[in-house]
Amino acid sequence: MKLEATVSSKGQITVPIEIRKRLNLKSGDRLRFLVEKGDVKLLPAREEENPFTKWIGALNPKGTPAGTAVKWVRSLRDAEDEE
C-alpha cells in the first residue's frame, strides 16, 4: 500500500483515512514515531491500561460505611487463622 501526505508549513500532515481506520485513530489521539534502521513507523501512542483500574471502588461501594472493606478483609484473615 502506497499512501502519501503533504507536510504543511507548520510541519503538520493529514493521516490518510485508510491508515486512521487501520490504527483505529480518532480525533485527538496521539501518535508515536519509531525510527529503526532508517525507517519510520507510525504507531498509536496509547497508554497501557492499568489492570487494576476496573477494581477501583470495588471494596467500598457508595453507601457502604468507611472501614467496611477493612473489617471484611480482617474477617477473612481471622477465618484463615482458625483453620
SS (H, E, C) 8-59: CCCCCCCCCHHHHHHHCCCCCCCEEEEEECCEEEEEECCCCCCCCHHHCCCC
What does DSSP assign to residue 60?
S
pLDDT of residue 68: 73
Pick the residue with more confidence: 63 or 35?
35
Q: Which cell numbers in the block locate residue 59?
A: 471494596
Band (pLDDT 50/70/90 cuts) for residue 32 is very high
Q: Which cell numbers in the block locate residue 76?
A: 477473612
CATH number among 3.30.1130.10, 3.40.30.10, 3.30.70.890, 2.10.260.10, domain 1-46: 2.10.260.10
pLDDT of residue 71: 79
